[in-house]
Amino acid sequence: MKTLKRLITVLLCAIISISFIINVSAATAPKITVSSVEAIPGKTVKVDIAISNNPGIMAMAFCITYDTNALTYKGYERGYLTSYSVYPHEDEGHVSFVNIENKDVAKNGIIISVLFDVKSDAAPGNYAIALANSNRNKYGTKLHNSFSNSQQDFVVPVVTAGSVTVQESCESIGHSFGEWNITKDATCTETGLKEHICARCDAVEEVEIPVTHDFEAEWTVDKDATATEDGIMSRHCTKCDALTDQKTFKLGDINGDDIITGKDSVAVMQYINGVNVDINNYAADVNDDGKINNKDYVLLVRYLNGWNVELK
């Protein structure tokens, strides 16, 4: 009974002291954050190991662990520290990092950025990038073994692990192309080029732009219409001799339906009265005086009524 009592007391003390340590360290402890990134298979990612709330650390030693099923260590980029060594243990899936300064350094920022190649056959999913004690084989899993200050006190950081999220490859779900970007304008005589880039894998697709003319919106009469012959009209290119939409038209066929009827007299009357109707101006000037007015309307009505008049 006495033993049991003592055991409970010891346990209670242990629980109290643990929670005390956690409360104290949570407020003052440095925070180490491993970044989380996304990539498709075959790409290289950069994972930052950053510190904040740094109280001053003289020595750091830790391992960056990663999943060798999905990632291959490629290298690193230096952070704010000057004196350190980095050693990859690729067969074990970790990169060891050791830094020793000549005094406490209380800077915040990126300690090191690690580059990983995402394997081309990596399955889509989330792969953790975490910190582990570099001395773990000898001292167990206590991370605080690895951070200490000039007083030879342990500094216990709060570590937030990161990850590499491997997305589906473009081979399996297709590219995600952005907007077309014209890299070479087409002209009247030469084809142009346009490209768009996949936002996921940076693949570039290039497509030829056909020869492009700058056709006027206005029509040009290529051949006047007469009482006996159809006219010809088209839209011309402003830069070369090319033309498009070439068509024939009859004098008096004001609405362009290929026959001359009462509808054409209605259309020209509406036009004269300011109604917004779509008419063929060249077919409407039936008396060929260069204007479209009541005289054209009268002449057209007389023509339709069988008078002995001529559209000219």
Sites of contact with Zn ion (CB under 5 A) = 170, 175, 188, 198, 200-201, 203, 213, 237, 239-240, 242
Nearer to Zn ion, 119 or 196 (CB): 196
Q: Which is nearest to 89 in space by CA: 98, 81, 102? A: 98
Smallest distance, Å, CB 199 to Zn ion?
A: 8
Nearer to Zn ion, 213 or 250 (CB): 213
Q: Which is nearest to 198 in space by CA: 220, 167, 227, 219? A: 167
177: DSSP letter: B
- Altogether, the residues listed in the chain come to a count of 312
Nearer to Zn ion, 188 or 298 (CB): 188
Smallest distance, Å, CB 185 to Zn ion?
A: 13
**Hey, how many other C-beta atoms are within 10 angstroms of the C-beta on 298?**
14
Smallest distance, Å, CB 124 to Zn ion?
A: 14
Q: Report the SS3 class of residue 158.
A: strand
Q: Report yes or no: 309 and 303 within 8 Å, Cβ to Cβ.
A: yes
List Cα–Cα distances, 6 to 10, 12, 122, in angstroms. Answer: 6, 10, 54
Across 210-303, the runs of DSSP E, i.e. the strands, are 220-223, 231-236, 243-249
Nearer to Zn ion, 202 or 258 (CB): 202
Q: Report yes or no: 71 and 130 within 8 Å, Cβ to Cβ.
A: no
Nearer to Zn ion, 214 or 289 (CB): 214
Nearer to Zn ion, 244 or 273 (CB): 244
Nearer to Zn ion, 186 or 198 (CB): 198
List Cα–Cα distances, 252 to 58, 60, 234, in angstroms. Answer: 97, 94, 18
Smallest distance, Å, CB 267 to Zn ion?
A: 32
Smallest distance, Å, CB 123 to Zn ion?
A: 18
Residue whose tokens read 């067969």: 91
Nearer to Zn ion, 29 or 39 (CB): 39
Smallest distance, Å, CB 171 to Zn ion?
A: 8
Encoded tokens for 272:
């004269």
Encoded tokens for 152:
């030879």
Report the run of H or E that residue 171 belongs to, with start and end: helix 170-173
Q: CA torsion angle for 287, 293, 294, 299 (degrees, to 10)? A: 20
Smallest distance, Å, CB 242 to Zn ion?
A: 4
Q: Which is nearest to 312 in space by CA: 212, 235, 195, 225? A: 225
Smallest distance, Å, CB 211 to Zn ion?
A: 8
